[in-house]
Structure 1
Amino acid sequence: MTMAAVIDSRPAQAPSRAAGIARVDILTDLSSAEPIWRALEARGRFCSPYQRYDFLSAWQNHAGRHENASPFIVVALDGEQRPLALLPLALKRSYGCRVAAFMGGKHTTFNMGLWDRDFAASATPADLDRLLAGLRAHDAVDVLALTQQPLTWHDLRNPLALLPRQLSVNDCPLLAIPPGAAPTDLISSSFRKRLKSKEKKLQALPGYGYTIATSDAEITRLLDWFFQVKPLRMAEQKLPNVFAEPGVEAFVREACLARLASGNRAIDIHALTCDEEVIALFAGVADGQRFSMMFNTYTLSPHAHWSPGLILMRHIVDHYAGLGTRALDLGIGADDYKRLFCKADEPIFDSFVALTGRGGLAAAVLSAVNRGKHVVKHSPALLGLAVKLRQALR
């Protein structure tokens, strides 16, 4: 296995057991990390679909590059040089320090490492101490800013939850899907009837139907429509359009077209369409056990009157429940429509870890800023004031 871009291979502290971390390497380009990355994806499958190589390499090559974020990929190996974990981080300067955060920026709902499942299941605080010691030995970063991490993933604890942590700024609404659940167990009969009544209006349109994009041509056509309509919807809501930021459209297009080893796409696109137009579009990532929403929008035409976004969401819930998917989330944030489907919240956390003396103040500032944002987001009065202030400034 080649380590062409390894900053040096000074060993971390000696492991206390054979299966523990014996060395921590830092890779600074994607091509060097790809073999290890894909091997951990395939072998243990203990990562979220947001951490797939095809997804994050597309982000780094387009959006990340425009954000002046450089790859900072941490690989932990055991005494026999077997990868135990890979942290897909990107390095930027902030607060006068070198700050490493998860790749993906604003476009990942969940951030995680990629872990050997057996190691993750048995990881202890001492293992995390060795990981941090290995990073400190390289002296290449001052602060780890590890945000929006799930406490658990597919019923297994996230090893990074062993680090000091705090609540993330936002919650993530979650729909758990018990095995064999009936549709009415997930969406109430009354709500389902209301949506079916609205959908009858759309069903009268020539060529109306629910589709999951499969061909390159279909994916491209739906994305062309999305990138025309989404800026208008964001402006209507007086929200900044993150999809207009440099490199973001190219990232989304590449990731949506990327085909995984399984034959599936890195991002799934679901849509309601008719002969006349695209009516609604929801896109997200799936791994067989969970579907996680990334982005969505709906038509500007009068067909919007019939709640096509909610109708499409009902189709998506039914689709993934039929596949045996165990959970579904609609992304970060407490939008009202999400609560119509998701009654619970996914516990997510942030960790800000100083690795050098210079990084101590920056870690404290980053932690305090996020704590303050969490307070505002969970206080209706403060949130209302913040929204009015943001709109006034804009």
Structure 2
Amino acid sequence: MTPLTTAFERFTDLAGFATGRQAENSPVRQQNRAGRPEILLSVHEDIEPLKEVWQVLERDGDGTPFQSYLWVSAWQRHIGTKQGIRPAIVVGWDNEGGALFIFPLGVQRGFVCNKLVWLGGDITDYQGPLLARDFVWHVSPAQFPNLWADIREMLPIHHMAALSRMPERIGGQANPFMTLGGLRRHASSAHCTVLKEDWATYYNEKRSSGSKKRDKQKRRKLEELGEVSFITPATAEERVACFDALAKQKSVAFARMGVANFFEKPGHLDFYRDLATNPEAEELFHLSHMRVGDTVAATSCGLSFGGRYHYILAAYDETAETARFSPGMAQLMELMAHATEEGHTVFDFTIGDEAYKEQWCELEVPLYDHFEPDTFASWAVLGPKIAYLRAKRFIKQTPVLWQGFTRLRAAFGGFFSAHTARA
């Protein structure tokens, strides 16, 4: 039996050929034309049959928690299906039946044209591929554009590609999607910091004497209001209660800022609650809160993956007396200390250029969007979107304009919230 036969049999088992469940648009192709890598490709509509291969690759390869099987499958189950997105997951195989890459793609149907997107949507801070560590030995940067062209031909009918929030690097290697044309800087960057072996050393290096003095004063004020404790909930019920408190606190902040509340979108609450209660996600999905007496003063949600802690959601109780003494910052410092104790080497604040991140982060991670229209109709759809994203980035990167915009947005948000409450 040749290695190629072994790879084919492994693929057919995953795709369901053995039980007569051949998915539409799931061919196997060996790339052997000039400028093409010699690998096998397959396209999958179903996520679950890929679980074993997917989790092996995420454990041994390069990626982020947002490309993990648990994150992507839960997102598609609760959100993607409601948005009309059909998975079109591309797997590249070596001749021994191992996965060289997984591209968690999907096709979103539209009135004018179908769009190729990453599975994970707007709540996924880093989008992109999952790669084997030796990916570059099989697919060189010069070969990837041709490989991508072949992949697009294999996928279900779509009229444009709109791939956003892609980092320049995937783990220890360059992101192959950076070799494609049509790349534009995303409106926001991501930010992260390298932790020390112990929290005290890191904290002393990062905070000025004045900042440390203010931190102590605010901590004492919180302690005067009640016993301060940092809690990581253990049971499924406790985890759901912690997340529900976070969602409630975050919703208040959204209303104050005049920002759309994504928790109100179909499937979003179910997605997070799924991860909170899934025993398989306990090591990935981390919830915590700071309690001051009987008050849940601050909450947070993060992802632990590959030695990095990803800080994705945080909030505090704006209606409690504790709000005057920066409980969110106190919760953040407790969380960073916790991440250090658990052996994380990087604390990743993920996407967003919020000013408070400058206090901690020495590393900026630029993110990129890739737009590839194929038809006149898709050009017509993408043109206004690209113009909007350019304007959005310009405003966000111009402090005076961004400050004015956020104040105006908050004013309108407060007006409509008050009007809705009276109604």
Q: What is the DSSP-based 3-state SS (H/G/I as helix, E as strand, rest coil) of the residue aligned with 1:210?
A: strand
Of 11, 15, 20, the residue aligned with 2:29 is 11
CA distance in 1, matches of 2:259, 2:192: 24
Q: Aligned residue for 1:131?
A: 148
CA distance in 2, matches of 1:302, 1:103: 41
Q: How does 1:22-33 map to 2 (within 5 A)?
A: 22-33=39-50
Once the two structures are TM-superposed, the CA of residue 230 in structure 1 deviates from its matched residue by: 2.4
Q: What is the DSSP-based 3-state SS (H/G/I as helix, E as strand, rest coil) of the residue aligned with 2:258?
A: coil
The range that moved more, 358-367 or 316-325, is 358-367
Q: What is the DSSP-based 3-state SS (H/G/I as helix, E as strand, rest coil) of the residue aligned with 1:110?
A: coil
Q: Aligned residue for 2:357?
A: 338
Contact 2:290 2:297 in 1 (8 A): yes
Once the two structures are TM-superposed, the CA of residue 330 in structure 1 deviates from its matched residue by: 2.2
Q: Aligned residue for 2:316?
A: 298
Of 92, 112, 127, the residue aligned with 1:111 is 127
Q: What is the DSSP-based 3-state SS (H/G/I as helix, E as strand, rest coil) of the residue aligned with 2:205?
A: helix
Which digits, 9 at most, give the CA deviation of each residue in 1:9-54, with x for residues without a partner?
0526426699x4533322112223323322311332x110111111
Which digits, 9 at most, give the CA deviation of each residue in 1:315-357, with x for residues without a partner?
2222223444232232322222222322442121111234667
The answer to whether the aligner puts 1:283 opposite 2:301 as a matched pair is yes
Once the two structures are TM-superposed, the CA of residue 359 in structure 1 deviates from its matched residue by: 4.5
Contact 2:91 2:99 in 1 (8 A): yes
CA distance in 1, matches of 2:412, 2:241: 36
Question: CA, structure 1 residues 137+56, in 2 after alignment: closer, same or farther (shift >3 Å)?
Answer: closer
**Structure 2: runs of 5 or more not aligned:** 1-12, 17-22, 417-423
Once the two structures are TM-superposed, the CA of residue 281 in structure 1 deviates from its matched residue by: 0.7
Compute the TM-score of the two structures, normalised by the length of structure 1: 0.88
Q: Aligned residue for 2:396?
A: 377
Of 332, 340, 361, the residue aligned with 1:321 is 340
Question: CA, structure 1 residues 65+211, in 2 after alignment: closer, same or farther (shift >3 Å)?
Answer: same
Question: CA, structure 1 residues 192+65, in 2 after alignment: closer, same or farther (shift >3 Å)?
Answer: farther
Which digits, 9 at most, give the CA deviation of each residue in 1:76-116, with x for residues without a partner?
22345432111112221347221121122121111121111
**Structure 1: runs of 5 or more not aligned:** none
Question: CA, structure 1 residues 267+30, in 2 after alignment: closer, same or farther (shift >3 Å)?
Answer: same
Q: Aligned residue for 2:78?
A: 62
Question: CA, structure 1 residues 94+392, in 2 after alignment: closer, same or farther (shift >3 Å)?
Answer: farther
Q: CA RMSD in A?
A: 2.8
- Identity value in percent: 23
Q: Aligned residue for 1:167?
A: 185
Amino acid aligned to 1:144: A
Q: How does 1:28-177 map to 2 (within 5 A)?
A: 28-44=45-61, 46-94=62-110, 96-120=112-136, 123-138=140-155, 140-164=157-181, 165-177=183-195
Once the two structures are TM-superposed, the CA of residue 3 in structure 1 deviates from its matched residue by: 0.6
CA distance in 1, matches of 2:159, 2:52: 27
Amino acid aligned to 2:185: L
Which digits, 9 at most, give the CA deviation of each residue in 1:216-267, with x for residues without a partner?
232122123223332222212222111111110000111122334xx74332
How many pairs does the alignment contain? 390
Contact 2:63 2:131 in 1 (8 A): yes
The answer to whether the aligner puts 1:182 opposite 2:206 as a matched pair is no
Amino acid aligned to 2:102: L
Contact 2:144 2:179 in 1 (8 A): no
CA distance in 1, matches of 2:380, 2:47: 30
CA distance in 1, matches of 2:273, 2:404: 36
Q: What is the DSSP-based 3-state SS (H/G/I as helix, E as strand, rest coil) of the residue aligned with 1:304?
A: helix
Compute the TM-score of the two structures, normalised by the length of structure 2: 0.82
Contact 2:25 2:154 in 1 (8 A): no
The answer to whether the aligner puts 1:232 opposite 2:252 as a matched pair is yes
CA distance in 2, matches of 1:367, 1:120: 31
Contact 1:10 1:138 in 2 (8 A): no
Once the two structures are TM-superposed, the CA of residue 59 in structure 1 deviates from its matched residue by: 1.2
The answer to whether the aligner puts 1:312 opposite 2:339 as a matched pair is no
The range that moved more, 293-302 or 87-96, is 87-96
Q: What is the DSSP-based 3-state SS (H/G/I as helix, E as strand, rest coil) of the residue aligned with 1:198?
A: helix
CA distance in 2, matches of 1:323, 1:223: 21
Amino acid aligned to 1:199: R
